[in-house]
């Protein structure tokens, strides 16, 4: 078999890349080790930056997003029992949209299949060779047969634990944080229409939502936390304590999902090796506090699609050669913003009072200074794709 671009991973990065390439008349095959059912229902981030929403609209993938997404014009920083709203529209003239990553994936899969694109789930034993100039992807199909896919380029969109990054030895920058998030999905109508980031003496909490009927909530916990130690009643009590503010009420309801997520920052440089190009979580991870993970992946593939389109049209390798540096400028800006939000909002495990007072000082400054609030709003709503930061 042969195609122009072999894409590993059917997450937002790989699926959107296949769509962007198809619009330019470039063939691709998408390979995914998980089942379609799995990738369409794994709950991930739900905040879409303004440039992400604009891109999905531009390429005709935002019909359901525009119907069901929840536009937000700001967020709140909540500390010392007081809610402080950061008004995105006033500060930078744009907002964000809450729309679950799994919903984006469903839309992308539907568009890919409707267009007759080649999308293969439940492959295994994937291996790469010939990456210098003639890539080959070998894999076992669901029927147990072995296949070889020859391509001009491989896009490694297969996540942090995929095989793409392991195919070469990039320089790695890594930081693990001494706390995690205990997250729940609850069948409880949101009582407010925007996210609230709470800094409390007991630890961080986040109030968010996935739909008019479903709330998504998080608590800072130690990385070694056992979910079994957190029955629903304890979670609701702690959320009530950390999120408390004048005029705020917390709806409780059945907990649909519960899990602990560790937090890390990770960047692999460069994001290119021969004819292999990494995108999304295969190349970088951010702590979720800044809501940047899926948005970075989408920014990566936009840059990659433009570079590949020029190359296949005979325009040379300038865009491909610049791909890694172009993406990494935005990646490192997002890494810094996510680290800053994380450091400002999460209590240190040792309860250091000096650090706590620094955090409160930063929070007070951020909500009191228009310049500081504007910086938060600019980064949170999304910087331009393709560099410029």
**Which residue is catalytic, options 99, 139, 179, 197?**
197
Residue reference for tokens 């937002």: 12
Quote the distance between the C-alpha of residue 8 and its chain's center: 17
Query: Are the beta carbons of 177 and 222 closer than 8 angstroms?
Result: no
Neighbouring C-beta atoms of residue 345, cutoff 10 Å: 23
284 catalytically annotated: no
Inter-CA distances, 365 with 140, 326, 362, 374, Å:
56, 32, 5, 12
187 catalytically annotated: no
**Which residue is catalytic, options 72, 84, 284, 385?**
72
Residue 185 pairs in a beta bridge with 216, 257
**Which residue is catalytic, options 288, 323, 346, 385?**
288
**Which residue is catalytic, options 19, 200, 273, 292?**
292
288 catalytically annotated: yes
72 catalytically annotated: yes
Query: Are the beta carbons of 8 and 14 closer than 8 angstroms?
Result: yes
Inter-CA distances, 220 with 7, 349, 378, Å:
36, 10, 25
The pairing of beta strand 70-72 with beta strand 96-98: antiparallel
Would you list the DSSP string of 19-37?
HHHHHTT--EEEE-SS-HH
349 catalytically annotated: no
User: Measured between alpha carbons, how far is 147 from 155 in angstroms, rounded to an integer?
Assistant: 18
Active site residues: 72, 197, 288, 292, 380
């Amino acid at each position: 078999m042969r195609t122009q671009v072999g894409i590993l991973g059917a997450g937002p990065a790989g699926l959107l890349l296949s769509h962007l390439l198809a619009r330019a008349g470039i063939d691709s095959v998408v390979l995914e080790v998980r089942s379609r059912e799995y990738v369409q229902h794994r709950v991930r981030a739900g905040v879409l930056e303004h440039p992400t929403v604009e891109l999905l609209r531009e390429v005709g993938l935002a019909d359901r997003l525009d119907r069901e997404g929840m536009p937000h014009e700001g967020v709140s920083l909540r500390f010392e029992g007081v809610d402080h709203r950061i008004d995105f529209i006033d500060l930078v003239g744009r907002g964000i949209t809450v729309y679950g990553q799994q919903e984006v994936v469903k839309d992308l899969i539907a568009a890919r299949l409707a267009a007759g694109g080649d999308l293969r789930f439940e492959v295994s034993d994937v291996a790469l060779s010939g990456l210098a100039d003639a890539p080959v992807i070998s894999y076992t199909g669901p029927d147990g047969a072995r296949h070889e896919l020859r391509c001009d380029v491989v896009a490694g969109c297969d996540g942090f634990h995929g095989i793409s990054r392991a195919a070469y030895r990039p320089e790695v920058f890594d930081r693990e944080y001494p706390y995690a998030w205990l997250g729940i999905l609850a069948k409880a109508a949101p009582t407010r229409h925007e996210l609230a980031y709470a800094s409390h003496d007991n630890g961080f909490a986040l109030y968010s939502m996935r739909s008019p009927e479903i709330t998504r909530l998080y608590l800072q916990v130690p990385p070694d936390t056992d979910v079994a130690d957190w029955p629903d009643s304890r979670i609701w009590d702690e959320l009530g304590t950390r999120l408390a503010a004048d005029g705020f009420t917390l709806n409780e309801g059945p907990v649909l999902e519960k899990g602990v997520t560790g937090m890390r920052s990770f960047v692999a440089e460069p994001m290119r090796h021969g004819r292999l190009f990494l995108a999304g979580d295969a190349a970088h991870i951010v702590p979720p506090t800044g809501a940047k993970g899926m948005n970075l992946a989408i920014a990566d593939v936009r840059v990659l699609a433009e570079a590949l389109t020029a190359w296949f049209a005979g325009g040379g390798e300038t865009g491909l050669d610049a791909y890694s540096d172009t993406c990494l400028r935005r990646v490192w800006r997002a890494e810094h913003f996510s680290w800053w939000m994380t450091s400002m909002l999460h209590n240190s495990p040792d309860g250091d009072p000096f650090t706590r007072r620094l955090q409160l000082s930063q929070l007070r400054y951020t909500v009191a200074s228009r310049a500081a609030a504007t910086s938060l709003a600019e980064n949170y709503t999304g910087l331009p794709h393709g560099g410029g930061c």
